[in-house]
């Protein structure tokens, strides 16, 4: 099937695909306000079920009527299940068929995350797009480990859907969508098995998990080539966990509609900025990554951008802010990088429409 332009309707707006989701893990994009992100023209944010469950907690979210009102965000919110974060707690968690038991990274409290609770948390958050609870396996992993994780992921996906439907009535966002998550590592047979099992259960969309964990772009593309032929054409596809700009182009060519990534915000806080070099996205050299603290930017009077705020400042001034460790530097750099990723997706959509990608 390959690349396509489509749309996803949600209770908080229509999303034109393919698109990128800035990361607002705990209810905020680091250094930016909700108004900042809205002004950058992002229609959607990604938040994390695990972190919001721990802080501020369900009681606070209920009191405020969900995350949209809590953070004053008018757009769409997607929440991942928190499974990746829980499975990252090496030595602090134990996997059972019921769910995953773990110790809070905050205070060491013993907790248990089940598919049913995962759905309850996301319903309380008021997410527009929810994710099933899945088993995240680190790579490299044996085929036996991947298959066992896959079996449990499929069981949890079915339980997640049952719980999601049971909690629809009376929830603050009854029109929310639920995505299944395809697992299987880089084993193509297991990926196909996972996808077909999830299709049998039936979801509003399908996420590809278990990538962006150290595998090569070539390995990821092999997985996506297989799934492109299997996943329903009328359902959105979400590549979880991020990609570099040139990798996003490759994944879009293989039918991916949705992306998230920590790189634009994380790199910004370390003074690493993305810039377009040309508009031929079929060439991987369409952009560069610069280090703003390098001496070459000390005297630069080039403006940071063309919008109302970024056009006021120069690269030389931004370098100064990073040199003196002024927080404004991280904020401006984050705005630049998020804007770059959003503009990249806009260019991709335009070039798909004109047949020039």
Secondary structure in 3-state letters for 130-183:
EECCCCCCCCCCCHHHHHHHHHHHHHHHHHHHHHHHHCCCCCCCCCCEEEEEEC
The DSSP output letter for 295 is: G
Question: Chain-wide mean pLDDT for the chain?
Answer: 95
pLDDT band at 108; cut points 50, 70, 90:
confident
Q: Is 72 left (phi over 0), alpha (psi -120 to 50) or beta?
A: left
Catalytic pick among 36, 80, 128, 257: 80
Catalytic residue list contains 260 = yes
How far apart (Å, rounded) are the C-alpha atoms in residues 228 and 37? 32
pLDDT score of 320 more than 90: yes
Catalytic residue list contains 80 = yes
- Domain spans of the chain, in order of start: 6-261, 262-357
pLDDT band at 215; cut points 50, 70, 90:
confident
Q: Which candidate, 343, 253, 344, 352, places its Cα nearest to that of 6?
A: 352
pLDDT band at 105; cut points 50, 70, 90:
confident
DSSP one-letter string for 58-88: HHHHHHHTSHHHHHT--SEEEEE-SHHHHHT
| Token pair belonging to 349 | 């959509």
CA distances for 165 relative to 116, 122, 130, 178, 254, angstroms: 11, 13, 12, 9, 31
List the CATH code of the domain at 6-261: 3.20.20.105
Catalytic pick among 128, 134, 228, 260: 260
The pTM (predicted TM-score) of the whole model is 0.96
pLDDT band at 88; cut points 50, 70, 90:
confident
Dihedral of CA atoms 25, 345, 337, 287 in degrees, nearest 10, equals 140
Q: Which candidate, 21, 25, 20, 29, places its Cα nearest to that of 335?
A: 29
């Amino acid at each position: 099937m390959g690349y396509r332009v489509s749309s996803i309707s949600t209770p908080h707006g229509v999303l034109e695909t393919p698109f990128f989701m800035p990361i607002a893990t705990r209810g905020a994009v680091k250094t930016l306000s909700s108004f900042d992100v809205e002004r950058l023209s992002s229609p959607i944010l990604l938040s994390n079920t695990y972190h919001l469950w721990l802080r501020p907690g369900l009681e606070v979210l209920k009191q405020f009527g969900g995350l949209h009102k809590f953070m004053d965000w008018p757009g769409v919110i997607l929440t991942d299940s928190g499974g990746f974060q829980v499975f990252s707690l090496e030595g602090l968690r134990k996997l059972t068929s019921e769910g995953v038991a773990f110790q809070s990274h905050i205070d060491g409290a013993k907790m248990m995350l089940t598919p049913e609770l995962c759905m309850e948390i996301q319903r309380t958050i008021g997410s527009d797009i929810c994710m099933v609870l899945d088993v995240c396996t680190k790579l490299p992993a044996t085929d036996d480990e991947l298959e066992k994780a896959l079996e449990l992921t499929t069981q949890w996906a079915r339980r997640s859907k049952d719980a999601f439907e049971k909690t629809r009535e009376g929830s603050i966002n009854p029109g929310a969508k639920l995505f299944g998550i395809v697992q299987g590592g880089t084993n193509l047979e297991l990926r196909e098995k996972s996808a077909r099992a999830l299709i049998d259960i039936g979801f509003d969309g399908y996420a590809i998990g278990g990538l962006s964990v150290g595998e090569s772009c070539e390995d990821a593309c092999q997985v996506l080539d297989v799934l492109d032929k299997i996943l329903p054409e009328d359902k959105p596809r979400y590549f979880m966990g991020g990609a570099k700009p040139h990798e996003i182009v490759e994944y879009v060519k293989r039918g991916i509609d949705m992306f998230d990534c920590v790189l634009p915000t994380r790199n910004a806080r370390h003074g690493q900025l993305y810039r377009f070099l040309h508009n031929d996205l079929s060439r991987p050299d369409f952009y560069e990554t610069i280090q703003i603290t390098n001496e070459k930017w000390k005297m630069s009077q080039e403006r940071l951008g063309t919008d109302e705020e970024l056009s006021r400042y120069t690269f030389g001034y931004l370098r100064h802010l990073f040199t003196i460790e002024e927080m404004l530097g991280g904020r401006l750099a984050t705005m630049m990088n998020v804007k770059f990723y959003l503009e990249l997706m806009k260019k991709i959509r335009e070039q798909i429409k004109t047949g020039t990608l």
